[in-house]
C-alpha cells in the first residue's frame, strides 16, 4: 500500500512537471538557462519575465531534479546532460511534446462528456487548445524527420534512398503540416513528392512552408485515393490508426502503388494485446495520448477508433487483407515506433 502511494505521488508529480516543462519551453526559460548558471533574478532578466514567477518555477524544476541549485551563490544550473533534452532543434528535445500533451488535455471536460454520452471530439476542436498551449502542430515530428527521415526510416529499406536519388514519385498519406514531404523533397531533387491530408489548415501550413519545387500538397481523404496516378513509394507516418476507415485507406494505398511499388508505414511499436504491453515504459503515455486524441478524433467521425496501440498483430492483419503479400517489420530510430515495409 505504501509503495502504491509513493508511485501515485510520483505520477502526479510527473504530470505537474510536464505542464511546467511546457511553460518553460514556451517562455524560453530552458534556452536562457542553457547559457549558463543564473540566479532567479538573472534568469528573469535574460527572458524579460517577472522574477517572482521565475523563482517559483525554478523551485519546482530544482526539486524535480531538472535544475540544480547552489545555495551559496543562489545560482540555478541546467546541467549539460539535460540541455540536449530540453533545448535545440534535434529530435532529442522533448520540450515541444510537453506543450502538445498540454493541448491534448485542453478539452478534458468534453472527453468526460464522451464517456457519458458517446461520440468524439473532432480534430478541429483541438485547434484553440494547440494555440493556447503554444503547441505547434507537427513540431515534434518535424524534428524527427530532420534527424531520422533519410538516414533512419528510409535507410531501413534496402535500396530506397538510391531509388529516390534516381527519381521516383512518392505520396505521403496523412502528411499533416508537410514536414516529411518538404524534408524528403530537399534531399532528393530528382524525385517528386505529394503530401495528402484532409485537414485544410494543415495543408495550408504545409504549402506555406514548402521549400522545394518538387513538393506539392492536396486536401483529400485517403479513403477516396484514386488508383491513378500510380506512385512508386507511398508513406504514412503515425497516420493510419487515426483514419475513419483504416481498412479502406490501406486498400486504396495498395491500389495506388505501381507494380513494383513500396508502402512504408511508421507506427507505434506495441502489441495489439494489452497483456503484452504491461511493463513497457512507453505504454501508459501512449495509451493516454490514444485516449485523449487518437481514439476520440476517430469516433467523432464514426470511425473504427483503432487507437495508437492498434498493435503489430492488427496492423499485419489489415495489411494482408489490403493485398500486401510481403510485409517486414523493422526497428526504427525511435524505440516507440516500428517500420512496416510492405510490397504487393
| Per-residue model confidence as pLDDT tens digits over 73-122 | 999 999 999 999 999 999 999 999 999 999 999 999 999 999 999 999 99
Is-contact 283 309, C-beta < 8 A? Answer: yes
HSE value, Cβ hemisphere, 13 Å, CA-based, for 147: 15
Domain 2-87 in CATH 1.10.10.10: yes
At 26-60, the pLDDT tens digits run: 999 999 999 999 999 999 999 999 999 999 999 99
- Percent of the chain at pLDDT > 90 equals 96
- 3-class secondary structure, 176: coil
Q: For the chain, give every domain's residue range.
A: 2-87, 133-343
Whether 138 has a pLDDT exceeding 90, the answer reads: no
Whether 137 has a pLDDT exceeding 90, the answer reads: no
Peptide bond into 229 cis (omega under 30): yes
Least confident of 129-138, 173-182, 224-233: 129-138
At 235-286, the pLDDT tens digits run: 999 999 989 999 999 999 999 999 999 999 999 999 999 999 999 999 999 9
Whether 133-343 and 2-87 are alike in CATH topology: the answer is: no
Domain 133-343 in CATH 1.10.645.10: no
pLDDT score, position 292: 97
Is-contact 306 241, C-beta < 8 A? Answer: yes
pLDDT score, position 7: 94
Dihedrals φ, ψ of 340, to 5°?
-95, 120
Amino acid at each position: 500500500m505504501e509503495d502504491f502511494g509513493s508511485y501515485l505521488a510520483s505520477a502526479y508529480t510527473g504530470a505537474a512537471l510536464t505542464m511546467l516543462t511546457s511553460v518553460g519551453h514556451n517562455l524560453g526559460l530552458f534556452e536562457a538557462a542553457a547559457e549558463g548558471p543564473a540566479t532567479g533574478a538573472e534568469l528573469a532578466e535574460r527572458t524579460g519575465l517577472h522574477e517572482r514567477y521565475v523563482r517559483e518555477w525554478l523551485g519546482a524544476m530544482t526539486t524535480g531534479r531538472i535544475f540544480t541549485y547552489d545555495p551559496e551563490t543562489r545560482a540555478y544550473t541546467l546541467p549539460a546532460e539535460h540541455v540536449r533534452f530540453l533545448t535545440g532543434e534535434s529530435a532529442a528535445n522533448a520540450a515541444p511534446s510537453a506543450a502538445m500533451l498540454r493541448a491534448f488535455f485542453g478539452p478534458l471536460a468534453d472527453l468526460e462528456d464522451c464517456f457519458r454520452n458517446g461520440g468524439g471530439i473532432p480534430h478541429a476542436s483541438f485547434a484553440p487548445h494547440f494555440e493556447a498551449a503554444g503547441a505547434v502542430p507537427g513540431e515534434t515530428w518535424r524534428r524527427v524527420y530532420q534527424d531520422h527521415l533519410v538516414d533512419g526510416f528510409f535507410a531501413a529499406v534496402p535500396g530506397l534512398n538510391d531509388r529516390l536519388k534516381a527519381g521516383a514519385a512518392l505520396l505521403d498519406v496523412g502528411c499533416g503540416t508537410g514536414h516529411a514531404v518538404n524534408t524528403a523533397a530537399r534531399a532528393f531533387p530528382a524525385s517528386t513528392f505529394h503530401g495528402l491530408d484532409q485537414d485544410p489548415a494543415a495543408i495550408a501550413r504545409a504549402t506555406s512552408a514548402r521549400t522545394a519545387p518538387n513538393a506539392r500538397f492536396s486536401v483529400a481523404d485517403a479513403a477516396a485515393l484514386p488508383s491513378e496516378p500510380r506512385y512508386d513509394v507511398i508513406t504514412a507516418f503515425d497516420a493510419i490508426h487515426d483514419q475513419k476507415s483504416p481498412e479502406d485507406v490501406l486498400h486504396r494505398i495498395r491500389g495506388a502503388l505501381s507494380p513494383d511499388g513500396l508502402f512504408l508505414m511508421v507506427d507505434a511499436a506495441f502489441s495489439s494485446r494489452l497483456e503484452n504491453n504491461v511493463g513497457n515504459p512507453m505504454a501508459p503515455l501512449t495509451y493516454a495520448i490514444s485516449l485523449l486524441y487518437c481514439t476520440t478524433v476517430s469516433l467523432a467521425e464514426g470511425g473504427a477508433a483503432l487507437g495508437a496501440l492498434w498493435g503489430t498483430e492488427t496492423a499485419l492483419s489489415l495489411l494482408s487483407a489490403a493485398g500486401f503479400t510481403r510485409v517486414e517489420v523493422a526497428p526504427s530510430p525511435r524505440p516507440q515506433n516500428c517500420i512496416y515495409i510492405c510490397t504487393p
